[in-house]
Amino acid sequence: MVAHTSSGKRQAPAGAQAAAPRRRGIQSIEVGGKLLLALLEHSSSLPLGALAKAAGMSGANAHAYLVSYGTLGLVRQDPASGHYELGPLALQLGLAALHRLDPIKIAVPMTRELAERTGQTIAIAVLGNLGPVIVHLHESNYPIHVNMRTGTVMSLTNTATGKVFAALLPPKKIESLLHEDFLRLGAVPTLSHTEKFEQSLREVRQRGVARAVGDPIPGINGLSAPVFDSNGNVVLVITAIGAAGVFDARWNSPLVADIKRCADAVSAELGWQNVDARATRQS
């Protein structure tokens, strides 16, 4: 219901909020920015015509922007072919931004949203001196009897979190950690155990996700996915954990897609580009 003032003017209903006005910007910068985005989307340099078409503007208009961007160093023109590509200033800006990125700070709000949406416990782990370490935890409303908290060291060989690191990090980097992990577990790896472990690592590389179904803790399932930096290095692992009765760990489970999507989103914020996805966009 709309209220009226004594002057006859209408008032908005109680609690209603006016739509936030669009902040004033400089339209020409937004228009010209499409040229930079077009260069970013293509792995090779582009001629003026193709670049203008990709940015949705005329060749003459695109050329005027490119002259100014060239003066700033945002783009450069190959003197032989005349094609355009991103310039040295664009590279410097990108590197400066990457150096300021904090993977954990970026991952925390995204994993919080994942925990709220799925109702599962979500953990963030990095590789420490003793193995994967939980550095942040979003606990679910479902009670799970797992001794996990910030600072917990996870097994490289016995958990989904650890297997992601073991599968995707250089072998030399984790060789000593794997040895220490076996000692902590009090187990001497047999040939069959080693073969089973190697098979699980191949599965992680193939699917991009590690899975734990009632192992090592009966009744508890887990799914883990890697987060990459701009160079394709694994910087952290996101893990979802829950009781088997409410945690669907099948490969076609929506949870698998959810955790991969979350990890990929964090990776994208860190500058990682999925080569397959990029090729699909350009085809």
pLDDT digits (tens, 9 = 90+) for 5-30: 444 444 444 444 455 566 777 788 88
The pLDDT assigned to 23 comes to: 73
The pLDDT assigned to 240 comes to: 95
Which 3 state secondary structure label does DSSP give 8? coil
Q: What is the mean pLDDT of residues 50-78?
A: 92
Min mean pLDDT across 36-45, 50-59, 60-69, 164-173 is at 36-45
More confident residue, 94 or 283: 94
Phi then psi dihedrals of residue 32, to 5 deg: -65, -30
The pLDDT assigned to 20 comes to: 52
Q: What is the DSSP annotation of 61-124?
A: HHHHHHHHHHHHTSEEE-TTT--EEE-HHHHHHHHHHHHT--HHHHHHHHHHHHHHHH-SEEEE
Residue 97 has pLDDT above 70, yes or no: no
Q: Among 196, 119, 201, 120, which residue's Cα sits nearest to residue 166? A: 201
Distance separating alpha carbons of residues 73 and 89, to the nearest angstrom: 5
The pLDDT assigned to 15 comes to: 45
Distance separating alpha carbons of residues 114 and 139, to the nearest angstrom: 11
Distance separating alpha carbons of residues 267 and 235, to the nearest angstrom: 9
Do 168 and 204 contact (CB within 8 A), yes or no? yes
Residue 158's pLDDT band (boundaries 50, 70, 90)? confident
Residue 2 has pLDDT above 50, yes or no: no
| pLDDT, tens digit (0-9, with 9 covering 90-100), for 219-268 | 889 999 999 998 899 999 999 999 888 899 999 999 999 999 999 999 99
In this structure, which amino acid lies at residue 16?
Answer: A
Q: Which domains does the chain have, with CATH numbers?
A: 27-97 (1.10.10.10), 103-282 (3.30.450.40)
Residue 275's pLDDT band (boundaries 50, 70, 90)? very low
**Number of other residues whose CB lies within 10 A of the CB of residue 224:** 27
Residue 3 has pLDDT above 70, yes or no: no
**Number of other residues whose CB lies within 10 A of the CB of residue 238:** 25
CA 62: distance to chain centroid?
33
What does pLDDT average to over the chain? 82
